[in-house]
Every structure is written in structure tokens, then in C-alpha cells.
A and B are shown apart, each in its own frame.
Chain A
Amino acid sequence: MIHSENEHYEFAVHHSEEDGKKVRKMIWNIFWVLLGITALEVMLGIFWKSWGLNWGLIKTTFIFLTLLKAYFIVAYYMHMRDEVKSFIFTVIVPYSIFVIYTVLILINEALALFDFDALYR
């Protein structure tokens, strides 16, 4: 059920038996997607060496698959998709800016410190 700022808000977002069937189907579909992604991740983690794949590629794939999984959980299981757009942006945008900045600056600093150590070791 889509919320809207122009309508009266409700706690009681009820749906009928037929709608329930559709929602349950969606829930199980997402479950198979999540299970498939996890299985793929584990397979790659165990076999990437024997499959002769490049570690940098595997690493990028892992991060991409993780973000994909996060999208499915937040959008469908936490029903973020049903909220108004302005709320979605209120949650996602400041958080993403802060976290991406933190991660980039920390990894960059860590590699600089590694080189610094190597100079004086």
C-alpha cells in the first residue's frame, strides 16, 4: 500500500485475502533471489582460485552482490518501496554520502600509512 502525504495516514494498512496471496508470492520470490545471491557468493569464495579468476574482479563482484542484496531487503522486506519518495531520499542520501566518504578516506589513509611504515622499517 503506497503512502501519500496528501491522504490521511493510517496505522491499519489492511489488505484482502487476494492481495495477501500476491504479497506472499513476492516475499518468496525475493527469498529465492536472496538465497541465490548468497549461494553464488559462497561458490565464488570457495572456487575462485580453481576457476582461475582474478581476485580484484571477485572482490568487486562481492561488493556489488552485497549492495544488491541490501537493496532487496530494504526495498521489499522493509517496505521502503511503499514510502513516499521524499522519505526514501531523506534516509538514503545523507547516509550514503557520509558512509562513502568515510570508507574512501579511511582506505586512502590506511594505504598511505602502510607506505609510511615501509619507508621506516
Chain B
Amino acid sequence: MSANTHAVDAKTAWGGGGKAPFGMSYGKMMMWFFLVSDALTFAGFLASYGFMRHRFYDIWPSAENVFTHFPFMHGDHPLIYVALMTFILIMSSVTMVLAVEAGHRMDKKGVSFWMGMTIIGGLIFVGSQAWEWYHFIHGTEWGAIEMGVGNFTMPDGSVKQTSGLMARWANETKDILALPWKDLSGEYIKVSGTQVAEIVNNGKEVFGANMVRNEYGHPLFANFFFFITGFHGTHVFSGVVLNFIIFLNVLKGTYQKRGHYEMVEKVGLYWHFVDLVWVFVFTFFYLV
């Protein structure tokens, strides 16, 4: 450590005596506190998702029946695409932490290379999310039937109101409908014949999802999907912007002159946080 570094530190941080709370620099500590507050926001979103899901747990759609697309492939591929997105984000976390490591060795070339890779990873992730949104909003080619006012008698004899609930087509020829409720074995209850005609006549065809109607099931599922993945996507996007600004500074040699790459560490903390949130969104929105 050169004497020069200490002079810079004393001027720009806590100042006075060279002592610091928790032995940390001011910027890093404030980044941690910001991340705590941001993590509280995301915890609030996911907890309220859990609230609505358990409140309507008998008619809540299961994500494996919603996100089944994969680019350039036909058919049913549940979870595979979102697993790929998770992989991309973890990978960009690795490149970020490698950039921080290169910063500790004052390796300007290494920092700029790994930061560049992180930015590319982030952009691919945002693009993937846009693709996922497009398919969710667009819906399936079959569509679904929003059931009208009426009652349905369950196999166990209980009567359910149907108003506003979604019945999804269970086969290609569109003569079997899967109702939103499950039987004891965990399969969706299916109806055919005259009951299908009744539901179609009494109901309304719906394609895709928006804030009011959702082909895949409960409209709140769509609302939470847009809100949580949208808020996370905004974080990824702003993370890419921040990374890009720091990347330009690295190329200009700002941190080389300053004698340390702490700025890369701070922006790295934010980037890892974005990855961390996605780990939870992946579990609670797609897996569970």
C-alpha cells in the first residue's frame, strides 16, 4: 500500500484517524444497507405472492403448466428455459467476482474483460426475460375459456362457483376441458361432451395474459408475474447500466490512477444481489 492510497482514503471516506465503523469503507457499507432495504422490498413482494397463492390455493395455476416454451422448439418443455436463464445469471455473477479479483491485483485488462462479460450476460438475461414476457402475454394457440356465472358440483359433492375461473383445453381437438380444481390424486378435473358445450356457451374465450385476464388461471398470478419479474428485470437493467458506467471508467484508467478498484467491488455487490434475488424468484415463482 502506498502512502498515496491512504491520503486518498482519508479525504474521501469517513475521515479522521483512519478508523471506521465495522472496519469498512463508507461506500461499501452504504451499499450493503441499500441492499438490505431493497431485499426487504423483494421479500414483501414474494411474501404477498405467498399470501395470495395460499388464499386461492385450490385454483392457483402451477408454473410448470404456464412456462413451457423453449426457443426454436415445439412442445412441452417446463422449467428448461428458466433454468437456462438462471444459469446465465449465475455465470454473469462468476464473471463479476472474477472482475473484482482482477481488481485486487490491479490488473486493468482482467477487470475490463470480466466486466465486459458481465454486461453481456446481463443483456442476454434481460432479453430472455422479454422473450418470456412475450410468450406469457401472447398465450397459447388454443386459448382458454373463462367460465361464466354458475355452479359446478365436485366429485366429493361440494359445490363451487365458476364465475371468472379459467377452464383450459386438455387436448388438441378441443373436446376435453381441464377445470381449475384438482382431484385427490392431484390431477386437474376434466370434463367432456355436453358439459364442454355448456361451459363454452356460457363462457368467453381468452388468449394470453394481461393485468385483468389470464388464460393460465387466476389473474393475480399474472399480476404477480408482471410485478415481481418486472421489478427484478428493472434491477438487472439498471445493474447493466451501472456496470457499463464503471466499465467505461475502468477503460479510461480512473481506478488505476486512484490506486484501487473498490468501485468495481461496490457495483459487484449490487450485481450479486440481483442474482441472489433471482435465486429466490426462481424457487418461489417457478419451482414451488
Contact = CB atoms under 8 A, between A and B. Distances in A.
A23 B101 contact: yes
B22 A106 contact: no
B238 to A, nearest CB: 18
B74 interface: no
Given A23-B101, A66-B279, A102-B43, A107 B54 contact: yes
A53 interface: no
A45 B25 contact: no
Contact of B97 (A27, A42, A84): A27
Contacts, number: 180
A17 B58 CA distance: 58
Contacts of A12: 1, 5, 9, 259-260, 262
B90 A31 contact: yes
Given A27-B101, A73-B272, A102-B47, A9 B20 contact: yes
A51 interface: no
B23 A5 contact: yes
Contact of B22 (A63, A77, A84, A111): A84
B79 A63 contact: no
Interface string B71-94: 000000011100100110011011
Point out which of B36, B159, B186, B268 has the most chain A C-beta atoms below 10 A from its C-beta. Answer: B36
A65 B21 CA distance: 33
B132 interface: no
Given A10-B1, A12-B260, A121-B161, A4 B83 contact: no
Given A41-B283, A63-B283, A9 B90 contact: no
B288 A109 contact: no
B285 to A, nearest CB: 12
A107 to B, nearest CB: 5
B101 A24 contact: yes
Nearest to A3: B23
B57 A114 contact: yes
Nearest to B110: A20
Contacts of B47: 99, 102-103, 106
B22 A90 contact: yes
Interface of B: 1, 5-6, 8-9, 13-14, 18-25, 29, 32, 36, 39-40, 43-44, 47-48, 50-58, 64, 78-80, 83, 86-87, 90-91, 93-94, 96-98, 100-102, 104-106, 159-161, 186, 259-260, 262, 265, 268-269, 272-273, 275-276, 279-280, 282-283, 286-288
Given A9-B25, A27-B101, 13 more contacts: A3-B22, A9-B14, A10-B6, A10-B25, A11-B5, A11-B25, A14-B105, A14-B106, A45-B78, A63-B288, A77-B93, A98-B43, A107-B50
Interface of A: 3-17, 20, 23-24, 27-28, 31, 34-35, 38-39, 41-42, 45-46, 55, 59, 62-63, 65-66, 69-70, 73-74, 77-79, 83-84, 86-87, 90-91, 95, 98-99, 102-103, 106-107, 109-111, 113-114, 117, 121
15 contacts: A3-B24, A8-B18, A10-B25, A11-B262, A12-B262, A27-B98, A55-B186, A66-B279, A74-B276, A77-B96, A77-B97, A87-B32, A103-B50, A110-B52, A121-B161
The 6 closest A-B pairs by CB, nearest first: A12-B260, A110-B54, A3-B23, A87-B22, A9-B20, A110-B55
